[in-house]
Structure 1
């Protein structure tokens, strides 16, 4: 079957279709170069998208959280949906760039602003990472294929009126990257996904530019354009030449993760240093350094920090100041050496940054106080790794940074009431901290090892908690369905019984037994089903059969109804597994009621028309008697003596609404307080999302940390679980709003701890600079 779903026809994007297009004025040789380049770029783009799914799937498979995994899956979906538009948009840009080669510029878009470190924030860090990635990609192409690109640009300049350089060359790496970014502008993906897509663009498009430039140069030489310029033959990329066929998964994600590791580090750290310089004398005290003070090396600083690390206090108090401790050690070292020794400027900036980060961490209300003390002991190991490796500040995937974030994320649900000595999470965090304090000297590999161990531990805990959490949700949803079915049954019973006076046995049978049949039918088939209507009809027939009726035709209706009614009752109660002993008692009493009903009809025949009695009695033939007998009702063949009085059944008037309670359920509590619909507290409740962590202030001393696991819409219940997945709290929307109103609930920020700390430090430094 022929399909062009993934093909972008060049004729559709070529401006030659426009009668006013200037592309017709391009030399034929340049038009041929354009068409061949476009064909190669189109093929390369298709290879990119063919492999993007596999790469993003690999990244999703390696994700450390559900949110991260969902981000990759959403990116895969977004990329599939917009693939065709991106391909078309990219090629359209290429054709437009060629079309403009013989046009004078009326105006051009403003160049991208240079990254301003004055406005550095985590959001601008995204733009910084993107800019660094693009610069790196372009630099690699220029380094590898610079001569061929330069020759191609020179040949273009010999053929067109517009002055070109390598950056404005339509097939130069700078232009191609800009075209691709512009075509991808509709993708709503995070920066990490965008960087992966850019890396794929580099791998599948930019890596083959050597071939494109070589073929373009050869085509122009053959057309007589500057043949004296000699270009080297294209060098094939061995990794691409031996690449696996499309559709084969490779370990692309590992390559992509590593490629950006060291790029842009100096720019980010330099920006932080610039912000720090503005804070000296205010937040950061100025050190009075002797004029002849000699800065110590980073190695000497590491030795001092290791000395402090071995003697770190078991509990980090609020007044612990790492800078002061280090200053004391340096003072003693200076006195011993007879010469003033100080920390170098770069290392001092690192110390100040880490100190400010930990000030935020130890002040963070999201972390439980008992675990905060443990995490505070990591300050010296984290400072040491930052001195060794400045990517600590710029790389979100840095093992030390990730370890800190993972510990904080795991600690989010840890309650102060948990037994620290017996709690496995507390013990694991304590083990990690102690291992770093004991074993970390100057090899950061230990952070990767501990991160892998900790992720394995939390992964096991998470799987167990997610399983229990799912069971909790399933149970609550089942309870909600049962509660809704119970309300439907209550309504059906009250509509038929409320205000009526009926035999007590019938009222009990409907309330205690048939209500269970209705419940089961409602849950299995729903209230719109034929089965539900049949169960209601059986209940209606039963009520009618025990009521007093004077009209003559009622006797025949009762006679026809009873066999089918009793059969439906028996089958329904059997399907609900109702107690057989109680069922037998009910049917015995029901049989007596029906016998009495037939006898009442017999006695109620008018005496003045005795001739009517014979036909009426004759209507109950042997076949009907047999049907009644089969149903369990034996009618006497002879009339009862006139003196015999039929004992009337015990009657009961249903005056109160029937309320069905679940096993163990108590009657409804007092009504909750009511708040207006636009009350701010209700809006806070509506903004709660499943998965959000909150802290309830139960009383002055006790707090409960729990996660919103489910919102059960039929009942309006909000179900909260602890970190093990066990249900610990249940609230209604209004109940939660009341708690918000009295400030008894606090939302816990589950964003990455280090990132929040860095954002706070940057924000504070920027404020100081602007003050």
Structure 2
């Protein structure tokens, strides 16, 4: 048709525009496709979020107890309505910048590193609460979509082969998205109470949709031919970029056990592993233990072959099938449920408690076998189920023998043996899948209770939570595996809230300690400066007292605010030197008289203004000013007297020039000066000056000598203390006291002081660096291993079965 030339193919133009944009920005076309998918997802989530935000904020305002609180929520409602589009645009622009920034990021760039504890002193409490909320959202999304995020990261990595894309650099990753939203929201002057509500809404509307987005993004990249062989549903062992070339089977379990076993034995692995600080504390499982059910079975088989008695102990002394028909998993689980009541007894407040001590798995299966025989169905337990039962028994043996767990908590956890046995029998991935909710639940609880101590009064929310879980597990005889996922999620939320609360308390404590240390350093610096200025000088007591009690405070503030290099500190220090010189000048020439006359009005003015600024007593200010004026007059007379005496010596024997009367006048001045009350401190300062100087001169030599004689053991302990991880738990046995458990809350770099708190953030102890080294070396202070107990148990099982 003649008109065909006028037909425009819009799809073709759109595709050409996308290719042009991709070429211009050097961004692969698949990434732009994902970006388009993400933009659609984000705008849908924002629309729902802002609609709900109106209702939520209005409800909060309606329930507000004060007018100011009500205004906070109404202002937030108004700002969100006005700036909704701005937030959306800023958020999407931030994501776009992250995508474009990939090309600008070198593989060695350290982008997105977490804020260290030592840097948090610069962060305000509002910012800290926001950061804690953001990190909680990041953790939640990572937990919900761990496998999909990792597959997306690997696929995008293949599109940028020369650039290492870490999890935090991933433009569509939880870290980038959550902080992009925080940055977009930061443009609004919003109260922290309203801001936290908005974060919660972002979490509610974005988390689940992001899980879906990650799945769709992987599907889209698969269709485009990006690693189609990678299955999205299969869990992936978490590795760094350096590990991508390493095949899963290349890591030898023997090597893993040889290294990790030492850490478990010494107990130092968790507290001193500085590199592990960056790992996600909420992530399921460890970074990869390399232990699976097949490896555990092989260890069981080897041990069984070497010792029949040991094999019977491990298997609970019950028959294992050898080819004949055996119990199915469902039959075995039902049989365990039927007899589990005989192993429980009701404790306080209806919380089930296990009968006896230690593992009961062998006794449970022995009774199951007995009941089956009594029913006339002599069917054995198959080998796989026997191995599962043996491993669950060994797992809880390790947990219940762990000295790091409180005895009362171990008694509660021991009731989980039968529920975990039934779950492990039903779920074949229990020992293989590091992200298994039941494994993560056990890890979380064991880590949370390390610092737990019974409360004498008041509610113990952690104990109540664990007892609640126990009731749910035991009473649910059918034991839906989803129960463990629900309990794990509830425990994560509980610990996140507790962690935020204790972090804020610990941060306030750290700020207070650092403030106290800085204040002490400032006072010592001011004291040394004043002593140096007063050394060898004679000043009236009134002036010395005003300097030490008044002017010193102004100098302390100046040092704290700007340090020694600040103009304010230099000015105040120079003022002291000038004041001392004006009262007791060491110059007597004509220039000295002019210098003093020029200096006097300024000194009096600055003295009054400076002491008034710090609210010094006005009566004392007036007294010191009067004394200063008197001293200045005497200093002038002293200078004049010296000048006249010099003239006398240069022109002897000339009569009638009045030198005699002038000399008499100066004699009178000298007597008046001698009669003035003079502080005895200046003599002490002068006496102390020389020894201090000689002592300071000898310090470097002594320190050099100490370095030479320092033993290798002392050096090792000092390095270990420097590597202590904030949040590490310790057990302390003071001389003649009771055991205490506390965690490291702060390490003050200014003076080497280490502050320890309990689970609630209350300070229990503090040690200087030398004291801490001594306590650790003596064994009175012992680090507790708060690593993943499930993985440590598996490693211990393998190690025990091999030796």
TM-score under structure 1 length normalisation: 0.60
Question: Which whole-Å CA distance do the structure 2 matches of 1:410 and 1:549 have between them?
Answer: 68
- Equivalent position to 1:751, from 756, 781, 787: 787
Question: Which whole-Å CA distance do the structure 2 matches of 1:549 and 1:422 have between them?
Answer: 72
C-alpha displacement at 1:399, in angstroms?
A: 2.3
Q: 1:538 to 1:346 in 2, by over 3 A?
A: same
Q: Which moved more, 1:591-600 or 1:480-489?
A: 591-600
CA contact (8 A) 1:697 1:744 kept: yes
Could you tell me which residue of structure 1 aligns to residue 111 of structure 2?
Answer: none
Deviations 1:31-69 (A, max 9, x none): xxxxxxxxxxx522554689899999xxxxxxxxxxxxx
C-alpha displacement at 1:475, in angstroms?
A: 1.3
Question: Which whole-Å CA distance do the structure 2 matches of 1:453 and 1:310 have between them?
Answer: 26
Could you tell me which residue of structure 1 aligns to residue 676 of structure 2?
Answer: 648
Aligned counterparts, 1:572-721, within 5 A: 572-598=610-636, 605=644, 647-656=675-684, 676=710, 678=712, 679=714, 680-699=716-735, 702-721=738-757
Question: Which whole-Å CA distance do the structure 2 matches of 1:185 and 1:310 have between them?
Answer: 59
Aligned counterparts, 1:522-533, within 5 A: 522-533=559-570
Q: 1:177 to 1:532 in 2, by over 3 A?
A: closer
Could you tell me which residue of structure 2 aligns to residue 331 of structure 1?
Answer: 370
Question: Which whole-Å CA distance do the structure 1 matches of 2:587 and 2:297 have between them?
Answer: 101
Deviations 1:347-401 (A, max 9, x none): 2222111111111111223322221221121111111111222222222332222
Q: 1:562 to 1:54 in 2, by over 3 A?
A: farther
Deviations 1:162-193 (A, max 9, x none): xxxxxxxxxxxxxx989949948956669x99
Question: Which whole-Å CA distance do the structure 2 matches of 1:84 and 1:4 have between them?
Answer: 20
Question: Which whole-Å CA distance do the structure 1 matches of 2:432 and 2:656 have between them?
Answer: 108
CA contact (8 A) 1:485 1:519 kept: yes
Question: Which whole-Å CA distance do the structure 2 matches of 1:609 and 1:306 have between them?
Answer: 128
CA contact (8 A) 1:421 1:427 kept: no
Could you tell me which residue of structure 1 aligns to residue 588 of structure 2?
Answer: 551
| Counterpart check, 1:278 vs 2:302 | yes
**How many correspondences in the alignment?**
540
Could you tell me which residue of structure 1 aligns to residue 697 of structure 2?
Answer: none
Deviations 1:601-620 (A, max 9, x none): 67775697875899x9xxxx
| Counterpart check, 1:478 vs 2:494 | no
Deviations 1:272-308 (A, max 9, x none): 4344332333643164639998633323322333244
Q: 1:564 to 1:85 in 2, by over 3 A?
A: closer
Question: Which whole-Å CA distance do the structure 1 matches of 2:379 and 2:685 have between them?
Answer: 88
Question: Which whole-Å CA distance do the structure 2 matches of 1:329 and 1:651 have between them?
Answer: 93
C-alpha displacement at 1:327, in angstroms?
A: 0.2
Q: Any idea what SS the aligned residue of 1:681 has? A: helix
Question: Which whole-Å CA distance do the structure 2 matches of 1:323 and 1:78 have between them?
Answer: 60
Structure 2 unaligned residues grouped into runs of 5+: 1-19, 43-94, 109-146, 175-210, 229-283, 286-290, 346-352, 649-653, 687-701
- Equivalent position to 1:401, from 415, 418, 439: 439
C-alpha displacement at 1:78, in angstroms?
A: 14
Q: Any idea what SS the aligned residue of 1:562 has? A: helix
Q: Any idea what SS the aligned residue of 1:720 has? A: strand
CA contact (8 A) 1:284 1:352 kept: no
C-alpha displacement at 1:566, in angstroms?
A: 1.1
Q: Which moved more, 1:353-362 or 1:199-208?
A: 199-208
Instruction: Supply the RMSD in Å over aligned alpha carbons.
Output: 4.7
Could you tell me which residue of structure 2 aligns to residue 561 of structure 1?
Answer: 599
Deviations 1:461-505 (A, max 9, x none): 111111111111211222232223223212211221234333222
Could you tell me which residue of structure 1 aligns to residue 133 of structure 2?
Answer: none
C-alpha displacement at 1:445, in angstroms?
A: 2.3
| Counterpart check, 1:451 vs 2:488 | yes
Q: Any idea what SS the aligned residue of 1:706 has? A: strand
Deviations 1:662-695 (A, max 9, x none): xxxxxxxxx9999827422222212212232222
Question: Which whole-Å CA distance do the structure 2 matches of 1:474 and 1:498 have between them?
Answer: 36
Question: Which whole-Å CA distance do the structure 2 matches of 1:648 and 1:457 have between them?
Answer: 71
| Counterpart check, 1:365 vs 2:365 | no
Question: Which whole-Å CA distance do the structure 1 matches of 2:99 and 2:536 have between them?
Answer: 60
CA contact (8 A) 2:326 2:381 kept: yes
CA contact (8 A) 2:731 2:739 kept: yes
Question: Which whole-Å CA distance do the structure 2 matches of 1:361 and 1:79 have between them?
Answer: 47
CA contact (8 A) 1:694 1:747 kept: yes
Question: Which whole-Å CA distance do the structure 1 matches of 2:332 and 2:656 have between them?
Answer: 123
CA contact (8 A) 2:360 2:417 kept: no
Question: Which whole-Å CA distance do the structure 1 matches of 2:410 and 2:302 have between them?
Answer: 30
C-alpha displacement at 1:564, in angstroms?
A: 0.4
Question: Which whole-Å CA distance do the structure 2 matches of 1:269 and 1:591 have between them?
Answer: 91
| Counterpart check, 1:80 vs 2:102 | yes
CA contact (8 A) 2:743 2:758 kept: yes
TM-score under structure 2 length normalisation: 0.58
- Equivalent position to 1:383, from 421, 434, 443: 421
Could you tell me which residue of structure 2 aligns to residue 65 of structure 1?
Answer: none
Aligned counterparts, 1:88-107, within 5 A: none
- Equivalent position to 2:392, from 332, 337, 354: 354
Q: Any idea what SS the aligned residue of 2:740 has? A: strand
Could you tell me which residue of structure 2 aligns to residue 161 of structure 1?
Answer: none
Question: Which whole-Å CA distance do the structure 1 matches of 2:763 and 2:685 have between them?
Answer: 32
- The answer to which structure has the higher helix fraction is 2
C-alpha displacement at 1:600, in angstroms?
A: 5.1
CA contact (8 A) 1:593 1:649 kept: no
Q: 1:373 to 1:198 in 2, by over 3 A?
A: same
- Whose radius of gyration is greater, 1 or 2? 1
CA contact (8 A) 1:295 1:343 kept: yes
CA contact (8 A) 1:695 1:745 kept: yes
Question: Which whole-Å CA distance do the structure 1 matches of 2:40 and 2:403 have between them?
Answer: 41
Deviations 1:312-360 (A, max 9, x none): 252564444321233034214413x234343332222221111111111
CA contact (8 A) 2:320 2:386 kept: no
Structure 1 unaligned residues grouped into runs of 5+: 9-41, 57-72, 87-132, 138-175, 213-259, 262-266, 617-637, 659-670
Aligned counterparts, 1:376-525, within 5 A: 376-414=414-452, 416=453, 418-419=455-456, 422-525=459-562
Could you tell me which residue of structure 2 aligns to residue 298 of structure 1?
Answer: 329
- Equivalent position to 1:289, from 319, 322, 328: 319
Could you tell me which residue of structure 2 aligns to residue 206 of structure 1?
Answer: 222
Question: Which whole-Å CA distance do the structure 2 matches of 1:734 and 1:702 have between them?
Answer: 23
Question: Which whole-Å CA distance do the structure 1 matches of 2:669 and 2:509 have between them?
Answer: 66
Question: Which whole-Å CA distance do the structure 1 matches of 2:667 and 2:311 have between them?
Answer: 111
C-alpha displacement at 1:444, in angstroms?
A: 2.1
Q: Which moved more, 1:386-395 or 1:735-744?
A: 386-395
Could you tell me which residue of structure 2 aligns to residue 43 of structure 1?
Answer: 29
CA contact (8 A) 2:404 2:785 kept: yes
Aligned counterparts, 1:9-28, within 5 A: none
CA contact (8 A) 2:389 2:421 kept: yes
Q: 1:355 to 1:82 in 2, by over 3 A?
A: farther
CA contact (8 A) 1:374 1:433 kept: yes
Q: 1:375 to 1:472 in 2, by over 3 A?
A: same
Q: Any idea what SS the aligned residue of 2:380 has? A: strand
Q: Any idea what SS the aligned residue of 2:404 has? A: coil
Q: 1:653 to 1:43 in 2, by over 3 A?
A: closer
Q: Any idea what SS the aligned residue of 1:688 has? A: coil
- Equivalent position to 2:571, from 509, 523, 534: 534
Could you tell me which residue of structure 1 aligns to residue 232 of structure 2?
Answer: none
CA contact (8 A) 1:420 1:426 kept: no
C-alpha displacement at 1:451, in angstroms?
A: 2.4
